[in-house]
């Protein structure tokens, strides 16, 4: 990557600190104030420069969606493997991470990874569409408590994010949404593979 100038590095440090404290990026007004600028224009130019140098990326026309891409410090990044359904079932996520995802050091544990949520079946568990869930590898099914939120791969169907219940030789995967459109799934335990256990939910601020 192209080296950063001093002002760009100051902004990167600000973005990292704000992300760790609040779980999203600061507004342009907050960045300008923190860096001692009277207007947003200098910050906008710095953000464009950081994006051009591929240190960050933004979602067009959405506020507070700056995501840090640089992962020189591996303590701050985990792999984002793709998407997971919180509704029906989607194809299993990729075998290779599609990008690195910046997290706090506390979340960077061996085996932790990130997935972006698609759907609304888990909103009563405060997991919404487009949230990013951090999951850890805990594949000892017999030790999972009833109601543990997991990424479950169902043989021949795909992967889904649901509450886990062991019921004898069967597994029940339960949504966290009272709407009748979201149904529980019951499959033989041999058909269900637990690919991760929920550790943390990250919501990108849009306002």
pLDDT tens per residue across span 150-192 = 999 999 888 999 999 999 999 999 999 999 889 999 999 999 9
List the domain boundaries for the chain.
6-68, 74-202
The confidence score (pLDDT) of residue 135 equals 93
Q: How many CB atoms neighbour CB 158 within 10 A?
A: 16
Per the CB < 8 A criterion, the answer to whether 79 and 114 are in contact is: yes
Q: What is the DSSP letter of 90?
A: B
Q: How far is CA 18 from CA 7, 39, 161, in A?
A: 17, 20, 28
* CATH number assigned to the domain covering 6-68: 1.10.10.10
The string of DSSP letters for 148-162 reads EEEEEEETTTEEEEE
Tally the C-alpha atoms within 13 A of residue 142's C-alpha that lie toward its C-beta.
1
Catalytic residue among 25, 76, 100, 121: 121
Alpha-carbon Rg of the chain, whole angstroms? 19
Q: How far apart are CA 156 and CA 161, in angstroms?
A: 16
Whole-number average pLDDT of the chain: 84
Has this prediction a pTM greater than 0.75?
no
Q: How far apart are CA 23 and CA 107, in angstroms?
A: 12
Asked about 25 being catalytic, the answer comes back as no
Per the CB < 8 A criterion, the answer to whether 64 and 24 are in contact is: yes
Residues sharing a CB contact under 8 Å with residue 41, sequence separation 6 or more, in sequence order: none
Q: How far apart are CA 105 and CA 146, in angstroms?
A: 29
Say yes or no to pLDDT of 19 above 90.
no
Asked about 162 being catalytic, the answer comes back as yes
Catalytic residue among 25, 76, 100, 162: 162
What is the per-residue pLDDT across 85-103, written as a single tens digit (0 to 9) for each?
886 655 555 555 567 777 7
The superfamily in CATH containing domain 74-202 is Umud Fragment, subunit A (2.10.109.10)
* Terminal CA-CA length for the chain: 30
């Amino acid at each position: 990557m192209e080296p950063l100038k001093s002002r760009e590095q100051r902004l990167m440090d600000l973005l990292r600190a704000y992300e760790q404290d609040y779980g999203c990026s600061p507004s342009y007004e907050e960045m300008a104030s923190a860096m001692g600028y009277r207007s947003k224009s200098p910050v906008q130019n710095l953000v464009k420069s950081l994006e051009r140098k591929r240190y960050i990326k933004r979602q067009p026309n959405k506020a507070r969606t700056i995501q840090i891409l640089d992962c020189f410090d591996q303590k701050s990044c985990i792999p984002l493997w793709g998407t997971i359904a919180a509704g029906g079932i989607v194809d299993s996520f990729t075998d290779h991470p599609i990008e690195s995802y910046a997290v706090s050091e506390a979340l960077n544990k061996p085996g932790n990874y990130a997935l972006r949520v698609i759907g609304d079946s888990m909103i009563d568990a405060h997991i919404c569409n487009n949230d990013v869930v951090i999951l850890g590898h805990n594949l000892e099914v017999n030790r999972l408590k009833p109601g543990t939120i997991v990424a479950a791969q169902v043989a021949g169907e795909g992967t889904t994010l649901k509450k886990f219940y062991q019921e004898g030789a069967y597994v029940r995967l339960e949504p966290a949404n009272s709407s009748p459109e979201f149904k529980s799934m019951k499959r033989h335990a041999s058909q269900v593979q637990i690919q991760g256990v929920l550790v943390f939910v990250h919501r990108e601020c849009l306002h």
